[in-house]
Structure 1
Amino acid sequence: MATLDVRLKKVNKVYKEGDVVAGVVIIQSKGDLAHQGVTLLMEGSVNLQLSAKSVGVFEAFYNSLKPILLLHYTLEVAKPGKFPNGKTEIPFEVPLKAKSNKSLYETYHGVFVNIQYQIKVDMKRSLLNKDLNKQLEFIVEYKETEDRAKPKPINFTITPETLTNLKEKEKVPKFKARGKIDSSLLCITKPLTGEIVLESCETGVKSIEIQLVRVETCGCAEGFAKDATEIQNIQIADGDIMRGLPIPIFMIFPRLFTCPTLTTSNFKVEFEVNVVIIFQDDHLVTENFPIKLTRY
């Protein structure tokens, strides 16, 4: 039996552009292990796909939805030969540098946009033996900049009259909620904070929730497909809450499922926050606030 593994020196696997990605390829075998060479591939790419509702409408997109290659390095780790009995460790170092005319974006796991960086190691073997391979994802984050996220507070009031996306306003009970989001420009490592106060409501309230939404846009010159999907939903109030009581808003941005707001010629990744009030008859109202995420 033989096994192939790859490990990085950095335990957290987080790198910035210009860093050296260093680690070891580990081969373990019982007895001598003949092979046809070991290669290491370091690759970063953006994978785009269309939602089901966009597929028929935008057939022209299929050509523009090929993966966008951000970096691509191939390294010969070992020439064809034999590994001895036991454990063999082969160190490697690869510079984290984008291909010419490309930029490295932060790692992001979305629904229609995925930005991933991987190391793949392959050991070729003779026809009768199965090739061995192993892959490992590492994380890319932006370098620290001088520009810090300066707070851009949002004060809001929600009443039936302020709701723009409501068709049957007469079915919504009379109510008034006010509050604030401390900033619409946010550092991704710090929480979204604020408060909401339900000043009055002629009916009972079931729940108040804060919803984080990703808005992913894929496209080309022929047009764009834009899709909003929920990342997470946090309940901040349960039941028919006391009127006039400030309720704190506090939301941490989940790692990998969010990234700094990103706009390119082929795709965009943006974020929004919804304040959702659900009444006891299960009617709900939503107020939407676009936010911008940065790394610092």
Structure 2
Amino acid sequence: MSLQVKLSRESLVYYSGETIQGQVTVLNQANTAHAGLKVTVKGVLHLMPGKKELGKVEQTFTLLRKSKQLLEAGKIVGNTEIDFSLQLIPESGSELYETYHGQNVAVEYMVVAELQRTGLKKPLWTTVDFILERPAIMEGKSNAVKTFEIGDIGGDLSSKIVGHVQTTSVDIRTPIEGELEVVSAPPLEGIELQVVRKEKIKIPELVSETTSEAQCCELVVGDVQRNLSVPIYCMLQKFVVCPSLETSKFDLSFLLRLKIVYKDGTAGTREHYHDIPIELQRLERA
């Protein structure tokens, strides 16, 4: 005997307040007694200590928990399919955040089907994850082009790299775009555009602030011709980033980090970084 859960929406994307629908299938080749079948939709926030924070433990918070009894105790004869529907309403005092998998912060949602069995047999259960997104908002931030200039990097190396990104108010579903130009610089090993996330945990048991790379896009491999326009183009990956967020328990913010690696005849290579703060949003599309 085994269980399967299938959601009705192929994209697996849902919004707060919607009804999630699906079907639980009990695969059974006999006439089997059971003590009841239940389906539960869950949403959990995980706040985790950093690697250097010894003695601290992960804190979890229930954002969503709704259950429905599908079968009372009885017998199941052969394969059985049962439809279900549950509304995605947060627990009292909670809020449903977008699905996100960071370094010290994670938000996940799932549907759990559990079949209680008779006697001393362990329950059967299975889960399926789904994605929760917040509704898109009207664009409210400035869309002004953000220019940058990277000058001398210290020591005996001088450099000038100029460029721009189209906006620092980024729709999470559209690419980060812009251009850069190496005006003058020592020979290069390469240039990367990193999307960096800053996770700030604010609960007393686990106060911390960490910065980690969410993803990386290579812009230049090796050296590049001077005064040549180099395009910046980077699609944001799902789950490792989400709209910028401030809550009572944690904050999530993001920035673009240009990593320039110079060849250095004496030390091998030398790295230089330039940060551009950005606001990630889920904006309404025209």
Alignment partners' CA distance in 2, 1:129 and 1:215: 46
Alignment partners' CA distance in 1, 2:98 and 2:105: 12
C-alpha displacement of 1:206:
1.1
- What CA deviation, in whole Å up to 9, does each residue of 1:218-238 have, x standing for no partner? 123588311111111111111
After superposition, residues 221-236 of structure 1 pair within 5 angstroms as: 221=204, 224-236=207-219
Contact 1:42–1:119 (CA<8 Å) still a contact in 2? yes
Matching residue within 39, 52, 69 for 1:76: 69
Contact 2:49–2:206 (CA<8 Å) still a contact in 1? no
Match of 2:173 in 1: 189
After superposition, residues 30-179 of structure 1 pair within 5 angstroms as: 30-55=29-54, 66-85=59-78, 87-147=79-139, 150-160=142-152, 169-171=154-156, 173-179=157-163
Aligned positions, number: 279
Match of 1:241 in 2: 224
Alignment partners' CA distance in 1, 2:147 and 2:279: 16
Matching residue within 228, 235, 256 for 1:252: 235
- What CA deviation, in whole Å up to 9, does each residue of 1:10-59 have, x standing for no partner? 01110011211000110111111211111111111110011022346xx5
Q: CA RMSD in A?
A: 1.7
Per the alignment, in what secondary structure is the counterpart of residue 40 of structure 1?
strand
Shift in CA distance, 222/40, structure 1 to aligned 2, threshold 3 Å: closer
In the alignment, structure 1 segments of 5+ residues that lack a partner are 164-168
Alignment partners' CA distance in 1, 2:93 and 2:118: 39
- What CA deviation, in whole Å up to 9, does each residue of 1:159-194 have, x standing for no partner? 12xx6xxxxx215x1110000011111000001111
Match of 2:254 in 1: 271
In the alignment, structure 2 segments of 5+ residues that lack a partner are none
Alignment partners' CA distance in 1, 2:60 and 2:221: 44
Alignment partners' CA distance in 2, 1:242 and 1:145: 41
Alignment partners' CA distance in 2, 1:144 and 1:291: 18
Percent sequence identity over aligned pairs: 28
C-alpha displacement of 1:144:
2.7
Per the alignment, in what secondary structure is the counterpart of residue 144 of structure 2?
coil
Match of 1:285 in 2: 272
Match of 1:24 in 2: 23
Contact 1:50–1:218 (CA<8 Å) still a contact in 2? no
Structure 1 letter corresponding to 2:155: E
Q: Please report the TM-score for the alignment, with normalisation by the length of structure 1.
A: 0.90
Shift in CA distance, 12/222, structure 1 to aligned 2, threshold 3 Å: closer
